[in-house]
Structure 1
Amino acid sequence: MKRRNFLKWSGIGAVVALAGGLTARGAMAANSYYSGPVSDHFDGTHFFNPGGEEPRGTLDLLRWKFGNGNIPWPDTFASPFPQAVPETRVTGNRLVVTMVGHASLLIQVAGVNILTDPVWSERASPVSFAGPKRVNPPGIRIGDLPPIDIVLVTHNHYDHMDLETLWVLEGRDKPHFITPLGNDAIIRSKVPDAKITVMDWGGSETVAPGVVFHCEPCHHWSARGLGDRRKALWAAFVFETPAGKVYHVGDTGFHEGVNYRAAGSKHGPFRLANLPFGAYEPRWFMKAQHQDPQEAVEGMQLCGASFVAGHHWGTVKLTDEGIDQPVEALFAALDSRGIARERFRPMRAGEVFDVPA
């Protein structure tokens, strides 16, 4: 893929953003991404988690980054699976998930090809020369993708919204982009002619016969610069399909299971949930924004998911834990609850999961 620097950032700005503690609270009084009515999760300028927590600020960021809890990753972490060449379409009662890396998944169901938070760039960063670098290549070469119908962007952090990749996909397939409030403005800065459906929590959109996307709450936050903290919405999504329901969570803190219970009550049970279970240490800093493996397993049970495709681990180093620790902790959590390990798969790049009916 042709690399372009789509934003001009200072080195220190990139470090601050990637650390997850953007520091210029209120640097921009207005919201340049979204203008809409006040709601239970929007105060007229900023989005927020009802009854939840804001991400931590500058002093805590420095305390974390200058602490001694970091476990280094290897430069490479090869997947045991070769790069996949997916089927063109999956129909009938089949539901197939192929791991690209981190939170990028190809979901094929009911004849529809869906990409979640697609990132093919080498770094999850606003610049090409610094920031978290992938330790394995994408599990699918971008040229081997089937025609993409839907691109789902759950929020605007750099490990989930890669404008370069979105630009390439637009030129390749002209897909239908679905994203929460405010993120359309960011996408259009790079992909001005994109077809975008913008959704608030509680919204829904029919994308194909029998295939409906529902936008639901998760506990997270957003920012791409020093002045746009929480000015675009974050969300989880439910895909209602003839082959069953899929619950997709790109990033979330556990939030005492509030959102899992709500999703299960409103939409469950689910044939499949795509749940993050990595990037969680240290807990005192990350708890509000990233769940750990034990919480992910509890979330699986609370929402009523038969199977889980586990993601958000083993591709780019964002936090302190070692590269294998999420899987070790996941298996321990499953074993302690008597859940078969096959039901919650820690997906590796190139892995293909043909989800049981």
Structure 2
Amino acid sequence: MGNRYYTGPVTDHFDGKQFHHAGLSSTDKSLIDLLRWKLFAKPSSWPQSVPARSGLKPDSSVEGLRITAIGHASTLIQVAGINILVDPVWSDRASPFNWTGPRRRNPPAVALEDLPKIHAVLVTHNHYDHMDTATIGALWQTHKPAVISPLGNDTVIRRDAPSVNVQTGDWWQSFSLSDQVRATIVPAYHWSARNLGDRRFALWGGFILKTPAGLVYCAGDTAWQDGKIFADIRNRCGSPLVAILPIGAYEPRWFMKTQHTDPAEALQIAIDLGARHLLGVHWATFQLTDEPWDEPAKLLESAMRDRCPANLNARALRPGDIWESANA
């Protein structure tokens, strides 16, 4: 069976059927690996509710740069008069089912009806904790934003939300979000799948936002691996003012190391990029892996103390936390 999401020319990271990482061994784990993890795992017990702020009502427009953590990897970026959502997930579960799968331990920091006008939605890849087609469909009905994602993800989104107009691109392709803001899709060390038969049929990536306030890097999901893509991002795009990086969903390391960073690796990515601010997300909302809910923030603080990187600030964002460029 061929690729039912995307048809295009062979490249250094697409073999005509599946996307891959050029020059790197696969991030794929086998069914045996998955069974080994689940049979012998000792996951930490999370509370039924993880404390976080909710009920926020953002300003309709921000001329500088303001970043609000919505929950997990979902962020609201307000810059130069436009409002951008990255990986918006408002559903109760990060799952193809509404009755099982990882459930929210805190509500979205901003209710859908309290969002300002959304001008763009950026979707990094098609895993359920990053691509929530129900949320994307609801945002389209209300806001009609530009929806941008790596290659093949338009098919996935439109299967569930057929009215949504999705623009897709390859790594390093750029899109204009306004007269002052551009988004560029950049590589990530990760993979994609919505079910058992479509692994790596759609591309994954992160985004660099070029704004008057500075560059903002949104990693989505990524490992550190050999670090080469982050040096490449810095060389091609410049050093970001802010790097929004995943710091959770990293245990057990033998299973997750090729696809998810731990906090120390997230810090290394920020250093590789030359970022001035690291904002840690992807923790404290959905229990996807085995670590305690509050460990990512503690380990990020510990990594910062151990490394003491010059000219870099780091903060783990809980849902409802806000970072502004005035704090830079």
State the TM bucket, normalised to the shorter chain.
Answer: over 0.9
Matches within 5 A, 1:128-143: 128-143=98-113
- Taking the aligned partners of 1:198 and 1:140, their CA distance within structure 2 comes to 27
Distance in 1, Cα, partners of 2:41 & 2:124:
32
Give the structure-1-normalised TM-score. Answer: 0.89
1:117-128 matches, within 5 Å, as 117-128=87-98
2:231 maps to amino acid: R
* Residue number among 278, 283, 288 corresponding to 2:248 in the alignment: 278
Matched, 1:66 2:39: yes
Q: How does 1:1-20 map to 2 (within 5 A)?
A: none
Kept in 2: contact 1:69–1:282 (CA 8 A): no
Structure 1 residue aligned with 2:176: 206
State the partner residue of 2:139. Answer: 169
Map 1:1-357 → 2, pairs under 5 A: 29-52=1-24, 53-79=26-52, 81-91=53-63, 94-339=64-309, 343-355=313-325, 356-357=327-328
Q: Which moved more, 1:191-200 or 1:138-147?
A: 191-200
Task: Give the counterpart letter for 2:153 in structure 1.
Answer: N
How far apart are the structure 1 equivalents of 2:244 and 2:27? 24
- For the 8 Å contact 1:214–1:238, the answer to whether it is kept is yes
* Corresponding residue SS for 2:223: coil
Pick which of 39-48 and 184-193 moved more: 184-193
Identical amino acids, percent of aligned pairs: 46
Amino acid at match of 2:150: P
Q: Report if aligned partners of 2:121, 2:146 keep a CA contact under 8 Å in 1.
A: yes
* Residue ranges of structure 2 left out of the alignment (5+ in a row): none
Structure 2: distance between partners of 1:98 and 1:83: 12
CA distance in 1: counterparts of 2:129 and 2:311, whole angstroms? 27
TM-score normalised per structure 2: 0.97
Counterpart CA distance in 1 for 2:161 and 2:143 is: 13
Deviations 1:295-353 (A, max 9, x none): 00011011011112211000000001011111111111011111489821111111111
Q: In 1, Cα distance between the equivalents of 2:184 and 2:10?
A: 21
SS at match of 2:92: coil
Aligned counterparts of 2:302 and 2:270: Cα–Cα separation in 1? 15
Q: Distance in 1 between matches of 2:264 and 2:81?
A: 34
* Distance 1:315-1:152 versus aligned 2 partners, 3 A rule: same
User: Is this contact kept in 2: 1:99–1:106, CA < 8 A?
Assistant: yes
Deviations 1:21-68 (A, max 9, x none): xxxxxxxx2101000000010000000111222221111101100114
Q: Deviations over 1:133-159 (max 9, x none)?
A: 010111111111000000001000000
> Structure 1, residues 58-114: CA drift from partner, whole Å, max 9, x if none?
1110110011431121111111x34321110111xx210011100000000011100
Deviation at 1:195, TM superposition (A): 2.5
Q: Deviations over 1:236-294 (max 9, x none)?
A: 11011111111110000111211111111111211111100110000000001101100
Count of equivalent residues: 326
Aligned to 2:315, what secondary structure does the other structure show? strand
CA spacing shift, 1:333–1:311, aligned 2, 3 Å? same
What 5-or-longer segments of structure 1 have no aligned partner?
1-28
Deviations 1:119-143 (A, max 9, x none): 0000000000000001011111111
Query: Are 2:5 and 2:202, in contact at CA under 8 Å, matched by a contact in 1?
Result: yes
Q: Which amino acid aligns with 2:241?
A: R
- The 8 Å contact of residues 83 and 349 in structure 1, kept in 2 or not, is answered as no
| Whole-angstrom CA distance in 2 between matches of 1:151 and 1:87 | 18
Cα distance in 2 for partners of 1:217, 1:336 equals: 28
Contact 2:206-2:220 at 8 Å conserved across structures: yes
